[in-house]
Amino acid sequence: MKKLDIGLSDVQNVYSGPEANLWKLVMGEQIHVGGFAESKAMADKAGIKEGDKVLDLCSCLGAGLRFLVKNYKVRGFGLDGTQAMVDQAIKLDEGEGLSDKIEYKLGDVKEIPWEDNTFDVVWGEDAWCYVDCKESIIKEAARVLKPGGTLAFSDWIEGSVPLSDEEANRICNPENLGMTFPYLESVKGYEELIAKHGLRLISSEDLNDHFAEMIDLYIAVLTKQLLYDALKIVGDNMEFFQKKGGEMQFWSEMAHAKKFSRGRWVAKK
């Protein structure tokens, strides 16, 4: 699909503004599709074990690392490009008494500020769609993994049915109240990048049916239960909220048409 001129500053603007709080309202701290259950499914597929050093790329509020620390007793490291997200993650860790088990850095996931062969696991949940070069993040993930280490990530992707240019632009372009995605990768595209950078693919899944179901759930929660709370976040601007809701309905239509989806990959170095 055509790549849009969207960069890190656009993502920072979104995640420093009301959009981030809207997603937190409907998704909780785990700002990714499926929450706890999907994190556990990926961790189990990846074979994460006690003592592993795990790097979460695009760590957002740090919920992925807190989940792994509490349930798998790992040592957590996070990298995110938005200061507001890193600051909130640190405060949330402090609130749960996990500050000594998780460290964060502010930086670009395309230039990971750690040495080669550092981590047992590189982890990502529904966030690499914001990165303007997916190959760079896969290449860097492979670099910082130890030999025998595991790459495990999920992401929003183009579905098995191709998007038209108009549909892709509407989903990705923030001017249309879509998300700040420079472009969407595909299942096959990620498989090719994983192989290109010397990783052995363990599993590759298109989770389209679940993705469509969850988009419908978010729409229902916002409109049938949390409308008052959502309007407070956007300054009681009903016009803005209705436009945003229209875009979410469009995402649902695209997901049910298998044009907009979510995937999950596990690979070994």
Q: How far apart are CA 66 and CA 82, in angstroms?
A: 18
Class of domain 8-266: alpha beta
Tell me, what amino acid is at 7?
G
| Own/partner long-range contacts of 196-201 (Cβ < 8 Å, ≥24 apart) | 196/135, 196/138, 197/135, 197/138, 197/139, 197/142, 198/142, 198/269, 199/138, 199/142, 199/151, 199/267, 199/268, 199/269, 200/267, 200/268, 200/269, 201/265, 201/266, 201/267
pLDDT at 6: 47
- Helix, strand, or coil (residue 88): helix
Q: Which of 142, 121, 138 is nearest to 42 (CA)?
A: 121
pLDDT of residue 260: 97
Cα torsion 146, 63, 224, 15 to 10°: value is -80
Determine the pLDDT at residue 132: 92
The domains of the chain are located at 8-266
Do 165 and 2 meet the contact criterion of CB atoms below 8 Å apart?
A: yes
Separation CA 238–CA 46 (nearest Å):
43
Per-residue pLDDT of 88-116, as tens digits, reads 999 999 999 999 999 999 999 999 999 99
Report the first-to-last Cα separation within the chain, whole angstroms. 29
**Contacts of 21 by beta carbon, 8 Å cutoff, 6+ apart:** 233
Residue ranges in the chain modelled with pLDDT below 50: 6, 8-10
pLDDT attached to residue 43: 98
The predicted structure's pLDDT at residue 80: 95
Quote the tokens at residue 245: 């809701």
Tell me the β-bridge partners of 205. Answer: 264
